[in-house]
Amino acid sequence: MDAPSELGDFLKSRRAALRPQDVGISPHPTRRRVTGLRREELAMLAGVSITHYTRLEQGRAMSASDGVLGAIARTLRLTDDETAHLKALARPAAAVSRPATPRVEHASASARQLLAAMAEVPALVLDRRNDVLAWNRLGHALLAGHLPAESPGTQGDRPNVTRMLFLDDHYRELYINWDEEAQLAVASLRLVAGRHPDDRRLAELVGQLTLQCDEFASRWARHPVRTCTSGVKQLRHPLVGAMDLSFENLVIPGSSGQRLIAYTAEPGSPSEAALRLLGSLAEPEAEDASAAV
């Protein structure tokens, strides 16, 4: 992905989201030809020269200072996630920490051992692109029982939870609030893409989804940015019905962005009963699924 182009698209999308009156500028009686703030208006409010801001938006000034980026972020009313994204896009050399063709990733033996030990907790390990590197028996049964349990070990055809969310009808129907889940998935992927603009496999994933799914393409074009480390998923499982499951997203240290996601139900709730039923229905042969490499 082209960092200068991404930076320009991001800044334009955020300028378009602000009306002049939102920032104390009286609307001009003549017709405005742009949606939202003009470049010169943003530059004036941020205390940045119009020339410098224009070069930044056009991708011709990729070494802006913290002060300049902070002033622009405040003027655009960016969130913390959006501000971090802005800085990553504005300084691609600093954001890149991996070669353009990274090695194929695997879940470590200790991570797989941990998954296997979490017998009553659905869990899986993802890489930064959301490829499934490993899952335990209950994680597989909860999220992708229609796929072979050993599929995370198939390097050329690993499940990817973002791809499945948009292109796999079985996985898509699992989420009661699919629109909300889709928006969060795109926003999270945008954040990762800003930090790793040279990741070829990530760019290929985005390209595939953009071409094959209009819903993904329209959301991606709006440039949402957000991270989510915990929350509640409302699921409708084909075998055991509706469940509200809390999740925790835990980064694995020293793993280039790999993370372990675990799901739990409130004790004594119908969701806990459904999760236990799912565990009893899951095939015992899948016990070693977490050994996928």
Helix-, strand-, coil-residue percentages of the chain, each rounded to 5: 50, 10, 35
pLDDT tens-digit series, residues 241-257: 999 999 999 999 877 88
Contact 82, 73 (CB under 8 A): yes
Which run of H or E residues covers position 125?
A: strand 123-126
How does 59-83 read in b/e, with b if 16+ C-beta sit within 10 Å? bebbebeeebbbbbbebbebeebbb
pLDDT tens-digit series, residues 74-114: 999 999 999 999 998 887 654 444 544 557 789 999 999 99
Q: Round to whole Å and give the CA distance between 257 and 276.
A: 31
pTM of the model: 0.83
Task: Give the domains, in start order, of the chain with CATH numbers.
Answer: 3-95 (1.10.260.40), 109-291 (3.30.450.180)
The type of residue at 204 is E
pLDDT tens-digit series, residues 123-173: 999 999 999 999 999 999 999 999 999 999 877 789 999 999 999 999 999
